[in-house]
Amino acid sequence: MKPTEIALLVRSPVEGRVKRRLAAGIGRSHAAALYGRFVLDMLSTFESARIVPVICYHPAGSIRAIRKLVGPGFDLLAQRGSDHPGRLRCAFEDMFARGADRAIVVASDSPDLPVKYMTEAAAALDKKDSVLGPTEDGGYYLAGFYADTFVPEAFRDIDWSTERVFNQTAGKIIKAGRSVHVLPVWYDIDTAEDLSALARRNRSTPFRRSQTMEYLRKHPGLTQNPPGAAKDA
């Protein structure tokens, strides 16, 4: 069996086009700057686990910006699809088309995701048909499948951006007759409140040395008194 291939979904960190809900609370420039740091911190976590992910980037014309962000040493694969669920589904299809027997796709807005969750995800596919990592807001930060147990329907007719996403996705996988390993719940950063919670839970963790936390220390008002959408630093 070929090793599990892992992909990180990355958007070009352009002001006004990335982390829009977060930008509504802290301003577009801060949201874009932080998102770039989220990506770099997640890549650092991958590196600590000796994982070199494929960078599945969006939009397709942003390859130079993505390469500048992530640096050399990564395979870059443009995302296909006209919307988020379509791009997510196509990411799996493209990974399998590259020859992967198993693929795990990870979102890039959980910068302090513990490395043990990523390694658990890969190990879980030794026993289960699929793996999902739920977020505390009802979505998920990670999904994984075998090529021959992939369930494309898991990304169709889902109430995206609601607290029902994880349950609906898991339900479709189970309905298709596939088993699911559920990882521990973790957090994604969608709002200013999420960002403040990230800062609080990492005051004394190793993540305090991350690029994300360094940026927040330089801009303490982002987590103490978020400036709001009208304030764009």
Summarised one tens digit per residue, pLDDT across range 12-21 is: 999 999 999 9
What's the mean pLDDT when you consider all of the chain?
A: 94
Q: How confident is the model at residue 225 (pLDDT cuts 50, 70, 90)?
A: low
Mean pLDDT of all residues in 161-183: 97
Total domains in the fold of the chain: 1
Note whether residue 90 is domain-resident. yes
What pLDDT sits at residue 229? 43
Mean pLDDT of all residues in 35-39: 98
Note whether residue 228 is domain-resident. no
**Is pLDDT at 222 greater than 90 in this prediction?**
yes
Q: Which structural domain, as residue segments, surrounds residue 206? A: 5-219
CB 132 within 8 A of CB 140: yes
**Is pLDDT at 116 greater than 70 in this prediction?**
yes
User: Which residues fall within 8 angstroms of residue 182, CB to CB, at 6 or more apart?
Assistant: 131, 132, 133, 134, 170
What pLDDT sits at residue 224? 79
Note whether residue 177 is domain-resident. yes
What pLDDT sits at residue 231? 46
pLDDT in tens, 130-151: 999 999 999 999 999 999 999 9
**Sheet with 130-134, side-by-side order of all strands:** 76-78, 54-58, 5-11, 102-106, 140-146, 130-134, 180-182
DSSP string, 49-107: TT---EEEEESGGGHHHHHHHH-SS--EEE--SSSHHHHHHHHHHHHHHTT-SEEEEE-
Note whether residue 227 is domain-resident. no
Note whether residue 232 is domain-resident. no
**Does residue 224 or residue 139 have the better pLDDT?**
139
CATH of the domain at 128: 3.90.550.10
Burial of 206 (0-12, 13-18, 19+ CB in 10 A): exposed
Note whether residue 178 is domain-resident. yes
Note whether residue 229 is domain-resident. no
List b or e across 215-232, with b for residues whose CB sees 16 or more CB atoms inside 10 angstroms. bbeebeebbeebbeeeee
**Is pLDDT at 228 greater than 70 in this prediction?**
no
Global confidence as pTM: 0.93
pLDDT in tens, 43-99: 999 999 999 999 999 999 999 999 999 999 999 999 999 899 999 999 999 999 999
Q: Which residues pair with 144 in a beta bridge?
A: 104, 131
Note whether residue 74 is domain-resident. yes
